[in-house]
Structure 1
Amino acid sequence: MTRAISSAIEHAAAVLELHRLQAATLLHNAASQRVLAANGFERIGMAPKYLRISGEWQDHYLFQRILRGA
């Protein structure tokens, strides 16, 4: 997954010319959080009841990666 995310970041920056990427994980999903960190994402906060999963609103950590200068 780390390589797949890295490739997606390269595409987002070079082809799509995006400024910023955002990702979210469930609070307990340490594996996905490690993948994001390995790809330069920083945790920017926690979103209470961010998505409804299996009939229950779940809290998520939010991450971002800035690709281009502001």
Structure 2
Amino acid sequence: IGYFGASTGGAAAIIAGGIKQQKRTKAIVSRGERPDLVPIEQLNSVLMLNHHIKNVENLIRF
């Protein structure tokens, strides 16, 4: 299962993917997440590799 969320939905994706479906979750993708909305004990229980991409428009060139 993969979760995606943007802005405050990023916090919801972290909560849903990290706690509710921890064994089945393979990816959590959030754009502009609000980690301050996620309780710290839940953030500590999620093992994640973070990649931060900014200005995607500048990365895509034809």
Instruction: State the TM-score, normalized to the length of structure 1.
Output: 0.31
Which structure has more relative contact order (CA 8 Å, sep 6+)? It is 1
Greater strand share, structure number: 1
Instruction: State the TM-score, normalized to the length of structure 2.
Output: 0.33
Greater helix share, structure number: 2
